[in-house]
Structure 1
Amino acid sequence: MKNDYTQTIPAEWAAMSKIFVALGDEHRQRIVLLFERGERLNVGQIAEVSTLARSTVSHHLKVLHDAGVLASEKIGKEVWFWINRPALEETFGNVLDYVKENT
């Protein structure tokens, strides 16, 4: 066991903790699972198939976006979201690398 519990969290781990917090909510997981590969969805499309109110969906999308799970682009009045694949690949890659190196 390493004995320095006070060690500072590496920068890449601090950023990825936000992703894990965002993905820790079942509703946000359901939203992420709605996306097909390469697909872009807006709030209305997600709210349409959700049991949540549009405002609640918007809140969850903001959390996912702020954490880096989703990327977005505003086109006209609509904001389109998609899975931020590079950020997720980097995050899960960091975890896998750690597991491989330390087990």
Structure 2
Amino acid sequence: MNTRYIKELPNHWLPIEKVFSALGDQIRQKILLLFEPNEEISIKTIVETIGLSRSAVVHHLKILEEAKLLVPRKQGRELMYKVNYIVALEAVDKLKIYIQEEFNHDTN
């Protein structure tokens, strides 16, 4: 059993903690999967597509934005969102490195 991180996560893991936390909700996963590559989508369109109240969608968008998975851009009176694929890839890469290091540690 690896108990090194029981008290706190390693510093290099902290930026991705919010990514995995944000992705732990099925509604937020559905929101992210709405986006085509490089597409921007308005809150209004997301509300109409997902079928939740505007306040519920805004709540989920805020969590995705705090995790840096979505990037907002103001266009007139509406906020447009775009997926930040780099942050998602960095989180997956850090997880992959951790798994490889632990696997290599276990096989030595």
Task: Give the TM-score of the pair, scaled to structure 2.
Answer: 0.85
Amino acid at match of 1:32: L
Moved over 4 A (4+): 5-8
Residue number in structure 2 paired with 1:14: 14
Counterpart check, 1:77 vs 2:89: no
The letter of the residue matching 1:37 is P
Tell me the SS of whatever aligns to 1:4: coil
How many residues in Structure 1 have an aligned counterpart in Structure 2?
103
Deviates more, 1:11-20 or 1:34-43: 11-20
Q: Which residue of 2 aligns with 1:61?
A: 61
Aligned counterpart, 1:101: 101
CA distance in 2, matches of 1:34, 1:71: 15
Which entry has the higher C-alpha Rg, 1 or 2?
2
Which ranges in structure 1 are unaligned for 5 or more consecutive residues? none
Distance 1:5 1:97 in 2: 16
C-alpha RMSD over aligned residues: 1.6
Quickly say closer, same or farther: Cα 1:2–1:55, change in 2 above 3 A.
closer
Q: What does residue 92 of structure 1 align with?
A: 92
Task: Quote the residue 1:36 is aligned against.
Answer: 36
The structural deviation recorded for 1:69 is: 1.2
Structure 2 CA distance for partners of 1:75 and 1:8, relative to 1, 3 Å: same
The superposition leaves residues 45-71 of structure 1 with CA deviations (integer Å, 9 ceiling, x where unpaired) of 101111211111111101100111111
Q: TM-score under structure 1 normalisation?
A: 0.89
Distance in structure 2 (CA, Å) of the matches to 1:3 and 1:29: 30
**Shift of the alpha carbon at 1:74?**
1.2
Q: CA deviation at 1:41?
A: 0.5
